[in-house]
Amino acid sequence: MQTFFVEIKCALGRTYEVASALAEAEIASEIYSIAGNFDILAKFYLDREEDIGHFVGQKVQTIPGIVDTRTIITFKAF
């Protein structure tokens, strides 16, 4: 399994709508509201053979209300 996080910037006033859409899609294992340059932090797991870039581009960035993302790829959990 690959574990990675995506920071998501939402259009003004649409954070809860985006978070709900992520939850309904059942693609993220955890979804958090955060402060700073991004509005949401979502944690994802993919099988090793799946491409993270395609997943983010096709499953995450296409959710209405998302204006920007930043993907953080992890290596090891301690």
Give the pLDDT confidence of 15-61 residue by residue, as tens digits. 999 999 999 999 999 999 999 999 999 999 999 999 999 999 999 99
Residue indicated by tokens 């509005």: 39
Q: Please, how many CA atoms are within 13 Å of residue 32, restricted to the half-sphere of its CB?
A: 11
pTM of the entire predicted model = 0.94
Report d(CA 51, CA 44) in Å as an integer: 12
Domains detected in the chain: 2-73 (3.30.70.920)
